[in-house]
């Protein structure tokens, strides 16, 4: 069994809270901070210490895990006023598990190295359920030796895979998010086709499962679309953030990816029409709008 570590968790929202709980249940000493204090306080019955500031959460921590909403928010906490990098001890490890731009991760890695702090970018896929069950796909960028040392901690949360140097984890996550977004759009179109053609969308979904068209998106989000259940596991506004980040990078790399560009536009319209806080499977609502169908 791994020696218990002192772990600071920054961000205890939809994903961060169950991740903190899993780390505590694995025997680690966890101290958590969240901007909305009540979200962190709800974890106290799980044996998790609640910090009043981010710097308090990382004081004397062996490992700090950041699970915040965006690159700018991560930069503010990590490198802004009262930066957690300045409060972390040399030799400790910062693991940023948020979905942020590749260049942001590389810049954070450089800032960490200047303070003798090790850094991994390790975004995840699998949603709230994966965080609760410890089955997240974890894409990790950074030095291989750091990954090897921290791997037992990450294995409490899911299946970590080292994919390359700093920034590579975020690059892998962008690839993941492109696949997710594009597949959501295709499943939504297929279910609308079935509905308008006179078939039962639920039975069509059932018929497709197990064949080449099967996927986690068809199983989980196809059911959400059929039920009209868009309570957020992964809010559409966060999906848009990721598709826009991917599109910005494709432009820098002089890549023309027309399908992903089209789907990014669909998510942009979905959010603009007020559905940004719904689950990303709510993209079917945007297609309904475009076809003058009831929402």
Q: pLDDT tier at 220 (50, 70, 90 boundaries)?
A: very high
Burial (CB count <10 Å: 0-12, 13-18, 19+), residue 253: exposed
Q: What is the pLDDT of residue 234?
A: 85
Cross-strand partners of 142 = 120
Tell me how far apart the 2 most distant CA atoms of the chain are, in Å: 64
Catalytic site residue 173?
yes
Q: Is residue 294 predicted with pLDDT exceeding 90?
A: yes
Cross-strand partners of 33 = 10
Helix (H), strand (E) at residue 5: none
Average pLDDT, the chain: 96
Which residue among 173, 219, 241, 261 is the active-site one? 173
pLDDT, tens digit (0-9, with 9 covering 90-100), for 91-139: 999 999 999 999 999 999 999 999 999 999 999 998 889 999 999 999 9
Q: Cα(190)–Cα(201) distance, rounded to whole angstroms?
A: 9
Q: Is residue 1 predicted with pLDDT exceeding 60?
A: no
Q: What is the pLDDT of residue 2?
A: 67
C-alpha dist (Å) from residue 46 to 78, 120, 200 = 26, 27, 44
Domains, in order of start, for the chain: 6-165 (3.40.50.720), 171-290 (1.10.1040.10)
Q: Cα(193)–Cα(248) distance, rounded to whole angstroms?
A: 32
Q: Are 158 and 136 in contact (CB under 8 A)?
A: yes
């Amino acid at each position: 069994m791994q020696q218990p570590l002192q772990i600071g968790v920054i961000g205890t929202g939809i994903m961060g809270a169950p991740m903190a709980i899993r780390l505590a249940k694995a025997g680690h000493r966890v101290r958590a901070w969240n901007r909305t204090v009540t979200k962190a306080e709800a974890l106290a019955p799980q044996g998790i210490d609640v910090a009043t500031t981010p710097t308090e959460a990382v004081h004397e921590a062996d490992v700090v895990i950041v699970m915040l909403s965006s690159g700018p928010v991560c930069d503010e906490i990590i490198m802004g006023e009262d930066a957690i990098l300045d409060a972390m001890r040399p030799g400790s490890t910062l693991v940023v598990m948020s979905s942020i731009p590749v260049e942001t991760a590389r810049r954070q890695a450089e800032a960490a190295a200047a303070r003798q702090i090790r850094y991994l970018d390790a975004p995840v896929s699998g949603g709230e359920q994966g965080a609760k069950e410890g089955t997240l796909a974890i894409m990790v960028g950074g030095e291989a030796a750091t990954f090897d040392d921290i791997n037992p901690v990450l294995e409490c949360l899911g299946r970590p895979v080292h994919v390359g140097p700093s920034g590579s984890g975020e690059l892998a996550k962008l690839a993941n998010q492109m696949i997710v977004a594009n597949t959501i759009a295709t499943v939504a179109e297929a279910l609308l086709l079935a509905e308008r053609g006179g078939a039962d969308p639920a039975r069509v979904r059932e018929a497709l499962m197990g064949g080449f068209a099967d996927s986690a998106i068809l199983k989980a989000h196809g059911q959400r679309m059929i039920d009209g259940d868009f309570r957020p596991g992964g809010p559409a506004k966060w999906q848009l953030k990721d598709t826009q980040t991917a599109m910005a990078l494709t432009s820098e790399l002089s890549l023309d990816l027309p399908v992903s560009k089209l789907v990014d536009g669909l998510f942009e319209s979905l959010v603009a029409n007020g559905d940004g806080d719904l689950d990303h499977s709510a993209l079917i609502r945007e297609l309904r709008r475009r076809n003058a169908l009831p929402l």
